Amino acid sequence: MCLAVPGRIISLDSAGAATVDMLGARREVSLRLVPDAQVDDYVLVHAGFGIQVISPDEARETIALIQEMDELVEDELAPTGETA
């Protein structure tokens, strides 16, 4: 399964790369596929590339779903009769 994670662009450089905050972690990503992206835009990041600019509302919704998955995984891995 492939997953693209939303991130907010923190800074840009002249080589088409950006520092992006994704769920509290900062990563360097290429913006060559979304050359019009600007600081404070949200982009979907997959395999080190920004692949699409998305709205802040869509970013928040996707982040909430990702955080729910963590909780679901913890519940599924808990021993029978216990919750995480």
Count the neighbouring beta carbons within 10 Å of the beta carbon of residue 16. 15
pLDDT computed for residue 3 by the predictor: 78
What pLDDT score does 69 carry?
Answer: 81
Beta partners for 17? 30
pLDDT of residue 65: 87
The structural domains of the chain, ordered by start, are 5-77 (2.30.30.140)
The pLDDT, as a whole number, for residue 82 is 53
Give the pLDDT means over successive 10-residue stretches in the chain (84 positions).
87 94 93 96 96 96 86 62 54
pLDDT number for residue 1: 58
Q: Do 52 and 43 meet the contact criterion of CB atoms below 8 Å apart?
A: yes
